[in-house]
Structure 1
């Protein structure tokens, strides 16, 4: 489906929902599961555990966060898609993952159109090394990325850390880039591996690293952004564009996603809660400020439009890296010619 047409279609469906059942309110009669397809303690798990109690209170039911890691988040994602479409099984992730699993063949026959989208924060990867490492700035590490045997801990090729490492490789020239990715079941174990010296570096998200950086166990060298990362209790982290000025940057949005096919009142009710409570949540704002995330909630058509730049960037990057098993154009994503 063409994404422009999808946005129009989504808006039309939402309008129809409002016209036919504007007064409907969903009152769940049992707990809701949110499948986090990564291990506990990582970026998706952290922010989901901030949002879940707010949703639970508003809905009047328990919300259970279920960690189901494996295969770069695709196992838990498929479990959510395979569950009954009754509104009681949701998932959480970076939106670029859910939108590109089919392109890499990890989850077949799926796209961003399989979900009603509720975004909450944007996250940024940070390149960090063990505090006892010889590397004092990113330029030194980048030199050894190209010529040495540097190990980098990530949560897998489809994780934010894995995609960040691939983006650095592409921006740095690629062919003489010899850093080796070591994969873990989630961002938290990947960060711990770097902090313990099991791997040289990590490219996981700031929210997964800030506590280790503040505790003096990791040294942050660069943030995948075009501006400094400012977090209370930490020195500013310089932007990677200081070293790779032509590196493209797209905000990496995270959220909660409800598979399509549930009764209309499920989405109407969650839309209302998102608008009135999540988009004004002090708890979520405090989390973002403390951990180095960007507080940026949205839902529905606005979330869809906000997500598309990173979805397109990641889909097309997979083509450039020869990781795609299907053409993104079959999902309505047109990549620029190289």
Structure 2
């Protein structure tokens, strides 16, 4: 109002000039947010291709790209149990064009085990929203030796550290869920970490390791192919996809219920409006019956938590797994 009365030849007061610049900046920012996204979005997956992360990410991200009217490029950046790709995402420019497929392991466990992880999930990343959760199934490739859960317990109690279990790496869901299980049951089994879930599964099938707590989605093909034997599933009720597999409670271990969860993340500092658009669109995508079915057919449940709710859930999970790490005596590296 005041500025409009100044004669054209008069110098613009410094305070007014600052106001003009501030308004221009706001308008420019608003226009940029309104146009978002103007180019393809990259989503970093911090694990090798072919695992549970890809199984969940690709159908959801394809639909998310369609809803945002852009393409989403998935880049696998494996290494250090997911820390390499996660730290790269945390250091990326917070403009909404580099995102991260986060998981329970990389967002609640790995930074508590790896002192050189290079990121803190609660400080350096912000959730776009939850994506999915999936129960785990305890499987073995040594079908004649460990055919039931009681047989596994008997062997573990008779010879501590005789039984081995594989994982996709230290701090991954396979590792931590078995550590939690052993802690609760008073068992000791030897952890054998691999560089990804696929090589761990290969050795499980070949009998080089005895057991693995694997997400249902990636265990299904091996179970249906008869290459591994499922012993129990970590949910309250039996799965429609594995109706003959007992729950842990039915197999004699009440109260053991765990899942692996996934969230889409952005670098901290991303514009609030960009974050809101991404979050709203992700929730919308996860309500799509086609996506719900695509995930359900793989044994996965959609988890459409908006940004704020996912942030609270992450903090809760971070505290939970920190307690397991401490009580199980897992030493940070």
TM class, shorter-length: 0.7 to 0.9
Q: Distance in 1 between matches of 2:329 and 2:210?
A: 26
SS at match of 1:136: coil
> How many Å separate the matches in 1 of 2:146 and 2:222?
17
**Alpha-carbon displacement from aligned partner over 1:45-92 (angstroms, at most 9, x marks no partner):** 210111111111122222111111121111111111122222111111
SS in structure 1 at match of 2:304: strand
Q: 1:261 aligns with which of 265, 269, 274?
A: 269
Work out which of the residue numbers 28, 48, 58 in structure 2 matches 1:49: 58
1:106, distance to aligned residue in structure 2 (A): 4.5
Q: Distance in 1 between matches of 2:55 and 2:88?
A: 20
Distance in 1 of aligned mates of 2:111 and 2:80: 13
CA distance in 2, matches of 1:58, 1:125: 31
| CA–CA distance in structure 2, aligned partners of residues 99 and 117 of structure 1 | 16
**1:295 partnered with 2:302:** yes
In structure 1, the partner of 2:249 is 241
- 1:324, CA displacement in angstroms? 6.0
- Aligned equivalent of 1:69: 78
Aligned-residue offset at 1:27: 2.4
Asked if 1:160 is matched to 2:160, the reply is: no
Gaps of 5+ in 1: 1-19, 327-338
Q: Specify the alignment match of 2:203 in structure 1.
A: 193
Distance of 2:312 and 2:173 partners within structure 1: 20
Secondary structure of the residue that 1:133 maps to in structure 2?
Answer: coil
Alignment deviations for residues 294-321 of structure 1 (CA, whole Å, 9 cap, x no partner)? 2221111222334444332212111212
Q: Secondary structure at the match of 2:214?
A: coil
1:101 aligns with 2:114: no
Q: Is the 8 A contact 1:34 1:64 kept in 2?
A: yes
Structure 2 regions of 5+ residues with no counterpart? 1-28
Of 261-270 and 208-217, deviating more is 261-270
> What's the TM-score, normalizing by structure 2?
0.81
Q: Name whichever of 259-268 and 215-224 sits farther off.
A: 259-268
**Per the alignment, do residues 218 and 24 of structure 1 end up closer, same or farther by CA in structure 2, a change over 3 Å counting?**
same
Post-superposition offset of 1:183:
1.8
Structure 1 stretches (4+) deviating beyond 6 angstroms? 20-23
2:303 counterpart SS class: strand
Under a length normalisation based on structure 1, what TM-score does the superposition of the two structures give? 0.80
Residue of structure 2 equivalent to 1:181: 191
- 2:184 is aligned to 171
Contact 1:96 1:307 in 2 (8 A): no
Secondary structure of the corresponding residue to residue 34 of structure 1: strand
Contact 1:195-1:217 within 8 A present in 2 as well: yes
Picking from 141, 144, 151, the partner of 1:133 is 144
Counterpart of 1:25 (choices 34, 37, 49) is 34
The structure-2 alpha-carbon separation of the partners of 1:310 and 1:263, relative to structure 1 and needing over 3 Å to count, comes to closer
Between 1:28-37 and 1:154-163, the stretch displaced more is 28-37
How do 1:215-226 and structure 2 match up within 5 A? Answer: 215-225=225-235
Question: Residues 221-278 of structure 1: CA distance to partner in whole angstroms, max 9, x if unpaired?
Answer: 01223x233133x33322223433354x4543212111221233321221221232x2
Distance 2:104 2:121 in 1: 10
| Cα pair distance change 1:112/1:252, threshold 3 Å | farther
Q: Aligned equivalents of 1:133 and 1:69: distance in 2?
A: 35
- Does residue 207 (structure 1) correspond to residue 207 (structure 2)? The answer is no
SS in structure 1 at match of 2:43: strand
